[in-house]
Amino acid sequence: MNPRLAAARALTGVLAGKTSLASSLPLQLERVNERDRGLVQELAFGTARWQPRLSILALELLSKPFRKADLDVEALLLVGLYQLLYTRIPAHAAIAETVGCATALKKPWAKGLLNAVLRRAQREAETLLPALEKDPVVLTAHPRWLQKSLKAFWPEDWLDICIANNSHPPFTLRVNQQQFSRDAYLALLSDSGIAAQPTAFSPVGITLVTPCDVNLLPGFADGAVSVQDEAAQLAAQLLLLEPEQRVLDACCAPGGKTCHILESETQLREVVAIDLEPQRLERVQANLERLKLSATLRAGDARALDEWWDGQPFQRILLDAPCSATGVIRRHPDIKLTRQADDIAALAQLQGELLDAMWTTLAENGVLLYATCSTLPTENTEVIAAFLARTADACELPFAAPFGKSQAHGQQLLAQVGGHDGFYYARLIKQAART
C-alpha cells in the first residue's frame, strides 16, 4: 500500500471523531512495507499536528467543502498539503503520489480535484497563509475552543504553549536507579556513540539528542532504562515513599509510574496498580517483567471499591486521573481533532469522583498525589479546590518546586520545547481524626 494512502486511511476515522491514531494507525502500518512505516507515521502524525491550519487552507482552495461521505478524500488532501508545506519531499512527487492514491478510494473524480487543489497550493500557499494567519486557529494550528481556553487561562504563556504543542517531543529516558546512577548510564551512552544530556528537574532523567530504537540503548532489555517523559518522572519523588508502605497506583496503564515507584523504594510492603481495561494491564505486566519488578494488578473501575479493594488502607496513593491530555498534544496531535470543549466538564466530574473514592482507601496521615497531563485549570486547580472544600479531613501538602508554575493549589508544568510535557501535580494529606 502507498504510505500516503495508509496515512489518509488512519486519519479518516480520526477526522470523523470515531477513533484515535493510536487505534487506527497500527492496522495501516501492517499493510505497508516495513521500510515505509516511518513515512506513514510521519505523514499521519504531522498531518494531525497541523490539521487546524491545513483544513482552513483547504477550504480556501476548494470551491465547496467535502461531504461527510468523502472524508477519505479530505484526509488524502490534507496529507498532500502536509507534504508540500512541512516535508522535504519534492513537490512533484508529493502531488503525483497523493493523486495516484485516489484510485484505491474508488472515487475516480477525486484525482482531478486533488491534482488541481494541490498544484494550486504549490503555487499560492506562500501568499495565502500569511493572510489566513490573522485567524488564531491558523496561526497556532489549534482548534478554536482550545486556543481560546489556553489564551484565557494562560494569557502570558498561551502562544509558547501552542508552539511547544506543535513541536516534536524529546526522547527522554528514566534510569533504573537500582542498576545505574544517571552519570554512569550517561557514560555508557557516550561509549555507545549516543549523545545525551541530563534532564533539568528529574534526578534520574536523560534526554537523547537524537531519538533512536530502544533496542540500541545499553541494557534496555535488562531493565537499565525506560522511556518516560521528565514531567511524569517527578511523581515518584513527590509521593514521599518510605519502607513498608502500601502504595496504590490508580489508573496505572501503561505502568511507567508504577515501575518508577518500585525502583525508587525497594522495601515497600505492596504496590497495587489498577486500570479500567484488562488489555491495558498486559502492557503494565510486560514493563514489570522487563524491569524484574512485581506489583498486584487489578482490572476495574477505581471508583467501584467493592470490586477491587480489600479494605486495607494505603499510606500512599498516586491518582494519575483520566484527563483531556492537553499537556501531551505533541505526542498525540490527534487530540486536536478528537477532543471537544464539552469533554472538559465531564472529565472534571470524573476526576472529582475518583478523588472521593481514593480518599476512602487512604490511611490517616497518608499522602495522595493527584496528577494529570492537562494544562487546563478546570481539570486541575479547580478540581482540587472543590475537593478540599467538601472534604473535612483533607489538607494540601505543598512542595517547594523548581519546576512549573505555583497555583492556588498544586503546581502546573507547561509543555516546553525540547523539555518536559505539560503536567499538573497536587499533594494532599489525610489529617488524623481530632479527639
Distance, in Å, from the CA atom of 224 to the CA atom of 173, rounded to the nearest integer, reads 10
Name the domain count of the chain.
3
- Of 99, 126, 141, the domain-final residue: 141
Q: Which residues make beta-bridge pairs with 426?
A: 370
Would you say residue 302 has pLDDT above 60? yes
pLDDT given at position 18: 86
Span 292-304, mean pLDDT? Answer: 95
Quick one: CA dihedral 283, 284, 288, 289, positive or negative? negative
In a domain, 164, yes or no: no
The mean pLDDT value of the chain amounts to 95
Percentage with pLDDT > 70 across the chain? 99
Q: How far is CA 5 from CA 100, 118, 202, 228, 281, in A?
A: 9, 16, 41, 31, 32
206 and 298 share a domain?
Answer: no
Amino acid of residue 361 = T
C-alpha cell at 164: 511547544
In a domain, 195, yes or no: yes
If you search the block for the grid coordinates 532504562, which residue do you land on?
Answer: 225
Whose CA is closest to 275, among 290, 258, 294? Answer: 258
CATH code where residue 272 lies: 3.40.50.150
- Of 88, 121, 141, the domain-final residue: 141
pLDDT tens digits, 348-376 = 999 999 999 999 999 999 999 999 999 99
pLDDT tens digits, 311-346 = 999 999 999 999 999 999 999 999 999 999 999 999
Would you say residue 113 has pLDDT above 90? yes
SS3 419: coil
The neighbour count for residue 145, using CB atoms within 10 Å, is 15
198 and 304 share a domain?
Answer: no
Tell me the catalytic residues: 373
In a domain, 258, yes or no: yes
108 and 257 share a domain?
Answer: no
- Of 227, 244, 260, the domain-final residue: 227
pLDDT given at position 435: 44
74 and 176 share a domain?
Answer: no
If you search the block for the grid coordinates 479546590, which residue do you land on?
Answer: 385
133 and 259 share a domain?
Answer: no
CATH code where residue 37 lies: 1.10.940.10
B/e letters for 383-417, b = 16+ CB within 10 Å, e = fewer, are bbbebbeeeeebebeebeeebbeebebbbbbbbbe
Structural domain containing residue 223: 171-227
Q: What is the pTM of this model?
A: 0.94
205 and 132 share a domain?
Answer: no
294 and 390 share a domain?
Answer: yes
366 and 253 share a domain?
Answer: yes
Q: Give the pairing of strands 246-250 and 270-275.
A: parallel
Task: Write the DSSP symbol of residue 333.
Answer: T
pLDDT given at position 434: 56
243 and 196 share a domain?
Answer: no
DSSP 99-156: HHGGGGGT-THHHHHHHHHHHHHHHHHHHHHHHHTTSHHHHHTS-HHHHHHHHHH-TT
pLDDT tens digits, 216-226 = 999 999 999 99
Q: Which residues contact 79 (CB under 8 A, 6 or more apart)?
A: 4, 7, 8, 11, 43, 47, 98
51 and 109 share a domain?
Answer: yes
Distance, in Å, from the CA atom of 203 to the CA atom of 251, rounded to the nearest integer, reads 25
71 and 212 share a domain?
Answer: no
C-alpha cell at 426: 497536587
Amino acid of residue 319 = L
pLDDT tens digits, 122-172 = 999 989 999 999 999 999 999 999 999 999 999 999 999 999 999 999 999
Distance, in Å, from the CA atom of 406 to the CA atom of 385, rounded to the nearest integer, reads 14
Would you say residue 433 has pLDDT above 70? no
Does 218 sit behind a cis peptide bond, omega within 30 degrees of 0 on the bond before it? no
